[in-house]
Structure 1
């Protein structure tokens, strides 16, 4: 069986690239196709030295730094891949990869991280945060996103089978594309985040400081709980606002960006990890549980698939008051680190590969 894997772009090794890594581990004979490949040399080890096939976007002016600005050309670019010689096509899609063209006798399974967020329910947030709510740029952006929505829905008919990375994304797929999907959770390197039974006295939040992560809300909550220590790991464009929310509280410590070993150690020793974002899935949530550390999370999005009553709890609003109430409630609970670890192991890389293999075998005639 000849296999092709299609992904949008390679410029860093993040969550969607971890999915591609495990697809390549399960189908090592596969050819990899991407729109552009600007992955730094130091981060290419997971590709195993294989040749990566790219689209015409790779050769356009300023593509290395600004390839995302060619968004309007991406549907055309992905349709130019000639995949006619492959028996199985696996697309890893958060934008356009699921739109590749296949024919009769070919099986196309699309693993969907999300329909185009900025074209559907997050359009207004995207325009607001990019400063394109008004004016000619705003008019152009709205027109482009309108066209992308039309293409996104029509091309959603291309895959024979759609796989969603969480129940939340399956609901988004049903809403945007009117398609059913199978849920297979993404792979998490739970082996790197080892179980530790002994906990310290700090709460932890670790993430990029960007608006949707709502780190400033967590910070404001702990600024009003002087008896509870919060450690914040990460940096980003929203850092000034996060520091302002801390208001110089002595119980809040900023660590900035840390090495992986330090992040693991902080997660292992945390009393609980706190997350306030509405995530498509939430890999960091699984990593916390793998360390035996309970999770306090906003009760929408992918976290609903991860956190159970015996591994943490939810709060129902992205407000300091809701987080304070959740932390107070958490302090009354007794959560087993072993139960947290057992839940995390459901999302291992081996579990992902086995589930995707079953999906493909069940879909083959």
Structure 2
């Protein structure tokens, strides 16, 4: 048996009320990451959506950082986060802006701690380049496709599964189906927008709230299509839907463009895209989906989803780490030029 790895946490793990009020500790998170003492390790792999890449390393250590996104609330979604948390005006607003300003400086500086960036999509690869001016290699994250069962027979409803927060744009999906009363939508998920969505749901939209995995998988498998309106860095739920044999109707920006084969992108499509984050654009895409008919084959959807499997990830991850380690020992300056596959 493999030894059980030890888990070492920072002082924030014991901070008062940190689980309920973690945003209050955001200014300390960079400091917390820097308290990890990694001097006894030759290879460091960080999995980062914000702070993990900031661990302190030495010139004798190889640091590979798997980036799921440069911190979104400090960069791309900065103004949206301020508005969502009512920090876009007043004294608290100015304090928040100053804090995020300092976080952006820290985030960009700590990019120098990384020897090789791995990006979880081409979309994130472009954001790494724009934010840090560093090249990276794309490695799609693992999706537990084996946990989902192909269901070739579909029923007459659409489904979306999401955390109910503003940037997921579930409100847009609900409004689109309000304009299509002849079509049924099932919404699964919970979050701070739950009550607001419940207040605006028309009769043809069922808001189920949080559901266990078996219920989610059942609805995903039986649905006519999975609807996805967020601008995501990768987006695992559309891949899970395709693993059930269910095609995807997605907003055509971000990671969805890499995880869904669009109707007009070539043979064997697994879904289609809508161009604007508006109810009208989504409703038009649903009409196009209905008109396309049997062109979406559940078995093809499943086959495409398998290209994002856990087995594929483990194989590719092991390969890139072995190659990085070999290059690092021979010629560290050649590491990024040799392994990066895009800007």
Aligned pair 1:350/2:308, yes or no? no
Distance (Å, rounded) in 1 between the aligned partners of 2:280 and 2:22: 41
Aligned to 1:180: 135
Return the alpha-carbon distance in structure 2 between the equivalents of residues 307 and 223 of structure 1: 25
Please list the CA deviations of residues 24-50 of structure 1 after superposition, one character each: whole Å capped at 9, or x if unmatched.
Answer: x9xx66xxxxxxxxxxxxxxxxxx6x4
User: Over residues 259-298 of structure 1, what are the superposed CA-to-partner deviations in whole Å (9 max), with x where a residue is unaligned?
Assistant: 2111111111111000111111111110000000000000
RMSD: 1.6
Matched, 1:295 2:254: no
Kept in 1: contact 2:251–2:275 (CA 8 A): yes
Is 1:130 aligned with 2:85?
Answer: yes
- Shift of residue 255 of structure 1? 1.9
1-structure distance, mates of 2:256, 2:128: 17
Deviations 1:337-362 (A, max 9, x none): 11100111111111111111111111
Indicate whether 1:337 and 2:290 are aligned: no
CA distance in 1, matches of 2:29, 2:193: 29
Whole-angstrom distance in 1 between the partners of 2:15 and 2:170: 37
Matches within 5 A, 1:105-254: 105-246=60-201, 248-249=202-203, 251-254=204-207
Paired residue secondary structure (2:273): strand
User: How far did residue 106 of structure 1 move?
Assistant: 1.7
Query: Are residues 338 and 176 of structure 1, via their aligned partners in 2, closer, same or farther at CA, if it must alter by over 3 Å?
Result: same
Residue of structure 2 equivalent to 1:315 = 274
Map 1:40-59 onto structure 2 (within 5 A): 50-59=5-14
Q: How far did 1:64 drift?
A: 4.3
Q: Aligned to 1:267, what secondary structure does the other structure show?
A: helix
Residue by residue over 1:286-317, the C-alpha shift from the partner in whole angstroms, topping out at 9 and shown as x without a partner, is: 00000000000001111011000310000011
Determine if contact 1:57/1:67 at 8 Å carries over to the other structure: no
Q: Which digits, 9 at most, give the CA deviation of each residue in 1:200-254, with x for residues without a partner?
A: 11111111211111111111111211221111112222123323443x33x2222
* Alignment-derived partner of residue 258 in structure 2: 305
Q: Does 1:82 align with 2:41?
A: no
Contact kept? 1:216, 1:243, Cα under 8 Å: no
Question: Greater relative contact order: 1 or 2 (C-alpha under 8 angstroms, separation 6 or more)?
Answer: 2
Runs of at least 5 residues in structure 2 that lack an aligned partner in the other structure = 263-268, 327-343
Q: Measured at CA, do residues 324 and 194 of structure 1 come closer, stay the same or move farther in structure 2, by a change above 3 Å?
A: same
In the TM superposition, what is the alpha-carbon distance from 1:63 to its structure 2 partner?
3.2
Structure 2 CA distance for aligned equivalents of residues 243 and 77 of structure 1: 39
Aligned equivalents of 2:98, 2:125: Cα separation in 1: 27
In 1, Cα distance between the equivalents of 2:57 and 2:253? 35
- The equivalent of 1:360 in structure 2 is 321
Shift of residue 136, structure 1, vs aligned partner: 1.6
The aligned counterpart of 1:45 is: none
Q: Partners of 1:352 and 1:163 in 2: how far apart?
A: 12
Equivalent residue of 1:91, what SS?
Answer: strand
| Whole-Å separation in 2 of the counterparts to 1:190 and 1:254 | 25
Alignment partner of 1:261 is 2:214:
yes
Distance, in Å, in 2 between the alignment partners of 1:306 and 1:347 is: 8
Which residue in the other structure is 1:39 paired with?
A: none
Structure 1 unmatched ranges of 5 or more: 1-24, 30-47
Partner of 2:27: 72
Q: What TM-score do the two structures reach when normalised by structure 2? A: 0.89
What SS does structure 1 have at the residue aligned with 2:227? strand
Specify which of 88, 99, 108 is matched with residue 54 of structure 2: 99
Distance across 2 between alignment mates of 1:58 and 1:237: 24
Once residues 139 and 56 of structure 2 are traced to their aligned partners in structure 1, the CA distance between those partners, rounded to angstroms, is 23
- 8 Å CA contact 2:194, 2:209 repeated in 1: no
